């Protein structure tokens, strides 16, 4: 999770969301709560486990590190790209 005093900016690379909970994504609402997300970037697939929280017109996905009891993994901003798909971008503290 992030510290409330931190400002997060999506200045990382964009990833395409190809699966949510094992099926093609339909919309941002299915990312809210505990779920899995599979991303594609430059021909590679990455599977994440975590929890999504609605934040304005986006979902902030708090990734849980596999094999860790900590809740302090990376945070991703997931957005509807407006052309029938979802995009993910890692949020980086300022």
SS3 state at 78: strand
Q: Mind listing the pLDDT tens digit for each residue in 28-39?
A: 999 999 999 999
- Predicted confidence at residue 2, as pLDDT, reads 38
**Where are the domains positioned within the chain?**
8-93
How far apart CA 46 and CA 73 sit, in angstroms, is 15
How far apart CA 55 and CA 66 sit, in angstroms, is 24
Q: Mind listing the pLDDT tens digit for each residue in 8-66?
A: 455 678 999 999 999 999 999 999 999 999 999 999 999 999 999 999 999 999 998 77
């Amino acid at each position: 999770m992030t510290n409330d005093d931190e400002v997060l900016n999506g200045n990382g690379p964009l990833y395409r969301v190809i699966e949510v909970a094992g099926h093609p994504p339909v919309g941002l609402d299915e990312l809210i709560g505990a779920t899995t997300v599979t991303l594609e970037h430059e021909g590679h697939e990455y599977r994440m486990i975590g929890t999504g929280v609605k934040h304005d017109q986006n979902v902030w996905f708090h990734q849980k590190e596999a094999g860790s009891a900590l809740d302090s993994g990376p945070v991703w901003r997931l957005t509807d790209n407006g052309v029938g798909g979802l995009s993910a971008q890692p949020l980086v503290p300022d």
